[in-house]
Amino acid sequence: METISLAQKERMNGHSLKQRIDREDYVIGPNFDYPRILTEGGNLAYLAKRYPHFDFNSIASTRIPTLNEPEGIQIKGNSQKIELRDTHGNAFYLFLKVGWKGDTPNDISYSQTMPPEESVKYQYDQMLFWREAGLRTPLALGYFTVAHRGFEKHYLLMDFLMGNSLDIDLLALRKSQSYLKTPEAKIRHSAKVHEFQKILTNEKNELIESGVRVIGDFFTQGTLHLDEKIKIEPSFSVYSPHNRQKHYGLQRSQHYFERLLKFLFKIPEMKISHAKRKSFSQNEFSGIIKHFLAPLLDESRDVYILGDAYPNNLRGGPGSNGVKLSYLIDAERTMMGHPAHDLTRFLNSHLIELTLGEEADFVSRAYDSHADFLKSHGLDKAEFLREYFLLSFITRLSDMGRRASDDPKMNKQNRFPPRERGYDYHQSMIHFPEPSDIAPRSVGYPSVSDSIVTQRKSLQDRFSGMLEKRVNLPLEKEDVLSIGKLSEFLQSCGIV
């Protein structure tokens, strides 16, 4: 087992010395026989197809490097990157995750789904299915149970996709766009500023399109293959909430709404008093959002979804050949759900910043690409767009609550820890215009407050755009009335 340096230990912020020492064992993990694992159980055929440059039959060395930035921005401590080199000097990377009984999930609202030690095996089973279905995801390469200090640890091994996660590329594009608005950029690049801005806008749209495409392919191909899988293997199961009203309402929407209120209450300029906060009725909120949650409660809509398709869970990967090709990377919350579920999470991210009309165009094209499949699940285009935009309100509110949960005063485990100098940025799927100063050398996540400010503005624009009918959306009269009620309620809370 490789030893962790003092510097590595010191980077494990937020943990006592004893916790750091305890974490040493599961960060690095056992010294598995990786050359053997990669060439057995059908692994070699999948790997050779995806990584034709690497000779998996002649591995010369194994090394456990520190996760580079921005690779490790949201990679939890219970995981590790592994570097292999073949006899020709080519590099290949693996990713190892671990879970054990008593491990605390990062997101408490998901803790009721399954214990962490069971979650690792569930992720492995789902990822093997992904591999069989030919989905653009990491390749599951092994699941191992190892006795350690009187209890079992469960390890999941997969290939490490070397492209940036899409949140990092989106941040880089935002930073470049901001730079082009500065006096310095206008002096240095004069007449080309407008041309460069257009290039970056096109790059952003292509990046978003790549995410929409992989999400649509995932729920279409995954669902069709799942039907065949269950015929052959009836015991194969995919998580589906037993009590959907509780799952999507109490344990998601209401949970995160309360977290958002707690965060906003701490900001003086929000002017939310103790008395006003106590007057907020969760029952009133629960009653208002029932209309928006309705599509999630209809099991006839169910397809196979990732369940957590935020930009940080999409990553660039091999095989692009100049075309932006995104992969979905996290199996932890894979489930049966509404086909618009993952699209709302991706397109409503505070990092994407689309107008209502732009968002509608992406959703419309997503439907067109999978129209026959969606019609087979009872969704014509108008109904799909309608249900997508109803769900988008819940998604935006939940995301604001999730981001509020990252505030240090509310949660010691910030998913996106701030750094004064930012995180080193390496170009992946984005083609920045020349000269080289257009591409940023580093990126940084916006603060919790700035993220929520962006989401509040987007939510306000969404309300006004729909209520004033600026964009032609297939909403019903009851939808518009419900949107109006939600807007009034959130105004009374000081959220919009």
Instruction: State mean pLDDT over 97-126.
Output: 72
pLDDT band per the 50, 70, 90 thresholds, residue 12: very low
Dump pLDDT digits (tens) for 152-163.
889 999 999 988
Q: Is 80 helix (H, G, I), strand (E, B) or coil?
A: strand
pLDDT at residue 139 above 90?
Answer: yes
Do the bridges between strand 335-337 and strand 303-305 make them parallel or antiparallel, or are there none, so unpaired? antiparallel
pLDDT band per the 50, 70, 90 thresholds, residue 115: confident
| Beta strand residue intervals within 266-367, DSSP E | 303-305, 314-316, 326-328, 335-337
Instruction: State mean pLDDT over 64-86.
Output: 68
**Tokens standing for 173?**
């594009």
pLDDT band per the 50, 70, 90 thresholds, residue 491: confident
CB 307 within 8 A of CB 334: yes
Q: Which residues contact 57 (CB under 8 A, 6 or more apart)?
A: 39, 44
Region(s) of the chain under CATH 3.90.1200: 166-493
Four-residue CA torsion sign, 336, 308, 463, 473: negative
What torsion, rounded to 10 degrees, do the Cα atoms 99, 102, 103, 105 define?
110
Cis bond before residue 70 (omega within 30° of 0): yes
pLDDT at residue 230 above 90?
Answer: yes
Q: Which of 197, 252, 462 is nearest to 353 (CA)?
A: 462
pLDDT band per the 50, 70, 90 thresholds, residue 419: low
Four-residue CA torsion sign, 22, 26, 28, 34: positive
CA dist., res. 118 & res. 101, Å (int)? 8
From residue 413, give the alpha-carbon distance in Å to each of 22, 109, 110, 136, 405. 17, 14, 15, 29, 9
Dump pLDDT digits (tens) for 76-92.
457 888 999 999 999 99
DSSP state of 158: E
Dump pLDDT digits (tens) for 457-484.
999 999 999 999 999 999 999 999 999 9
Q: Is 232 helix (H, G, I), strand (E, B) or coil?
A: helix
Exposed, middle or buried by CB within 10 Å (0-12, 13-18, 19+), for 261?
buried
Do the bridges between strand 423-424 and strand 442-443 make them parallel or antiparallel, or are there none, so unpaired? antiparallel
Q: Is 114 helix (H, G, I), strand (E, B) or coil?
A: coil
Collect contacts of 380-385 with beta carbons under 8 A, ≥24 apart: 382/474, 383/474, 384/339, 384/340, 385/360, 385/473, 385/474
Collect contacts of 88-95 with beta carbons under 8 A, ≥24 apart: 88/55, 88/58, 90/53, 90/54, 90/55, 91/54, 92/51, 92/54, 92/56, 92/159, 93/159, 93/160, 93/162, 94/34, 94/141, 94/157, 94/158, 94/159, 94/160, 95/138, 95/157, 95/158, 95/159, 95/160
pLDDT at 340: 98
Q: Which of 123, 107, 97 is nearest to 28 (CA)?
A: 97
pLDDT at residue 284 above 90?
Answer: no
**Please, which residues bridge with residue 94 across strands?**
82, 159
pLDDT at residue 45 above 60?
Answer: yes
Does the domain at 166-493 match CATH 3.90.1200? Answer given as: yes
Identify residue 334 by its one-letter amino acid code: T
Q: 271: alpha, beta or left, given left = phi > 0 and alpha = psi -120 to 50?
A: left
pTM metric for this prediction? 0.89
Concatenated DSSP letters for 357-423?
Answer: HHHHHHHHHHHHHTHHHHHTTT--HHHHHHHHHHHHHHHHHHHHHHHHTTSTTT-S--SS---TT-E
CB 401 within 8 A of CB 257: yes
CB 328 within 8 A of CB 313: yes
CA dist., res. 325 & res. 210, Å (int)? 6
CA dist., res. 318 & res. 338, Å (int)? 29
pLDDT at residue 492 above 90?
Answer: no
pLDDT at residue 20 above 70?
Answer: no
pLDDT band per the 50, 70, 90 thresholds, residue 434: confident
Q: Is 167 helix (H, G, I), strand (E, B) or coil?
A: helix
pLDDT at 297: 94
pLDDT band per the 50, 70, 90 thresholds, residue 72: very low
pLDDT at 31: 78
pLDDT at 15: 36
CB 418 within 8 A of CB 444: yes
CA dist., res. 297 & res. 242, Å (int)? 11
CA 465 to chain centre: 26
Exposed, middle or buried by CB within 10 Å (0-12, 13-18, 19+), for 194?
exposed
Q: Which of 87, 170, 219, 220 is nearest to 350 (CA)?
A: 170
Residue percentage of the chain with pLDDT more than 90: 59
pLDDT at residue 67 above 60?
Answer: no
pLDDT at 3: 37
pLDDT band per the 50, 70, 90 thresholds, residue 13: very low
pLDDT at residue 275 above 80?
Answer: no
CA dist., res. 64 & res. 29, Å (int)? 10
pLDDT at residue 18 above 60?
Answer: no
Considering only residues 411 and 292, tell me which one the structure prediction assigns the higher pLDDT: 292
Q: What are phi and psi of 23, to 5 degrees?
A: -70, -20
pLDDT at 27: 47
